[in-house]
Amino acid sequence: MPSSDTSHPKTNFLKKVFSEVPKTYERINHVLTLGLDVLWRRQAARIAAASGGTRWADMCTGTGEMACYLSRLAASGTVIHAVDFSMPMMAEAMKKPEARNIDFVVSDVKALPFPDESLDLITISFATRNINLSSDILTHTFAEFCRVLKPGGRFVNLETSQPSSLLLKKLFRFYVRLLVKFVGKLISGSHSGYAYLAHTIPRFYPPKELSDIMCRAGFKNVTYRKLLFGVAAIHQGMKP
Ligand SMILES: C[S@@+](CC[C@H](N)C(=O)[O-])C[C@H]1O[C@@H](n2cnc3c(N)ncnc32)[C@H](O)[C@@H]1O
Spell out the per-residue pLDDT of the chain, length 240, in tens. 333 445 688 899 899 989 988 999 999 999 989 999 999 999 999 999 999 999 999 999 999 999 999 999 999 999 999 999 999 999 999 999 999 999 999 999 999 999 999 999 999 999 999 999 999 999 999 999 999 999 999 999 999 999 999 999 999 988 888 888 888 888 888 778 888 888 899 999 999 999 999 999 999 999 999 999 999 999 999 999
* 69: Cα separation from own chain's centroid: 14
Task: Find the CATH number of the domain harbouring 130.
Answer: 3.40.50.150
pTM of the entire predicted model: 0.94
Assigned domain for 232 exists: yes
Among 196, 145, 137, residue whose Cα is nearest residue 8: 137
Number of domains in the chain: 1
Note whether residue 3 is domain-resident.
Answer: no
Domain assignment present for residue 216? The answer is yes
Ligand 1 centre to CA of 61 (Å) is 6
CA of 167 to the centre of ligand 1 (A): 30
* Residue 2 placed within a domain: no
Nearest to 66 by CA among 21, 121, 133: 121
Distance from the CA of 79 to the center of ligand 1, in angstroms? 20
Quote the domain boundaries for residue 153.
35-163+205-238
